[in-house]
Amino acid sequence: MTRRTLIAGNWKMNGSVAALGFFDAVAPVAKEADADILICPPATLLAQAASACTGSEMRVGGQDCHAAVSGAHTGDVSAAMLREAGASHVILGHSERRADHGESDALVRAKAEAALQAGLVPVICVGESREEREAGRAIEVVASQLAASLPENPDRMTLVIAYEPVWAIGTGLTASVEDVAAMHEAIRERLPEPLTTCILYGGSVKPGNAKDLLSLDDVDGALVGGASLKSTDFSAIIEAAGRKSELVR
Ligand code: PGA
């Protein structure tokens, strides 16, 4: 099985019903793209975003889910609820959730298992802080996050990993292509199904740097924050992944 490129947008706590015209604007580019396209809007927009994608090549995902199937968890949503709203994927363990909500690797693993159970593809985020990179511990930190956040049951491993150095998120800074290549190779070596698991890079991906990052062997796509809010920027990133018509047959 070959890995297909995935270009995923993470709208974070941004967007409104008025922003859903984004899907019509991006649809023609998505149709031509040699990549799967995913948008993760806030949970309140998920069902409408899913309808806006009907008939297009785009899919929608959640930004988080609870580890439990249902119950007394005010303010949370379950993986099955995301699925019912039309999601195919769910981002888990994003560094903003790890920082703002104290999410541990063990919790991320529990959420990933809940997501798989509900038929969602978990997009599990890992990444080191600036201090950890400067101390030469980036690979060690990411390896330990991976070891503790991946689901236990490797036979049902349909998942995506997103390597997002924390210091590169929303800062305009990007890891060098050499550092990204080295980290993605290190991640791939540690995956239970290395050949089929998609590894995305995230952290200030923009139209200007997407092509260089996406051309790396072990980079199977991008998780895009800020630049996924503008249809023109996101379309340019999708185009950097190549067009179906450019495929050698
Ligand atoms: P950014 O965010 O592209 O704005 O840096 C990436 C992310 O947080 O997924």
User: pTM of the full predicted structure?
Assistant: 0.96
| 170 touches ligand 1 (CB under 6 Å) | yes
Write the DSSP assignment of 206-237 as a string of letters: -HHHHHHHHTSTT--EEEESGGGSSHHHHHHH
Q: What is the pLDDT of residues 189-245, one digit of tens each?
A: 999 888 889 999 999 999 999 999 999 999 999 999 999 999 999 999 999 999 887
Sorted by where each begins, the domain ranges of the chain are 6-240
| 225 touches ligand 1 (CB under 6 Å) | yes
Specify the CATH number of the domain 6-240.
3.20.20.70
Q: CB-based contacts of 107: which residues, under 8 Å, 6+ apart?
A: 67
Q: Is 73 a catalytic residue?
A: no
Task: Write the residue with the smallest CA distance to atom 1 of ligand 1.
Answer: 225
Q: What is the pLDDT of residues 121-164, one digit of tens each?
A: 999 999 999 999 999 999 999 999 999 999 987 666 689 999 99
**Catalytically annotated residue among 57, 66, 89, 94:** 94
- CB distance 59 to 53 below 8 Å: yes
Give the distance (Å) from ligand 1 centre to CA of residue 231.
15
Give the distance (Å) from ligand 1 centre to CA of residue 224.
5
Give the distance (Å) from ligand 1 centre to CA of residue 95.
10
- CB distance 50 to 86 below 8 Å: yes
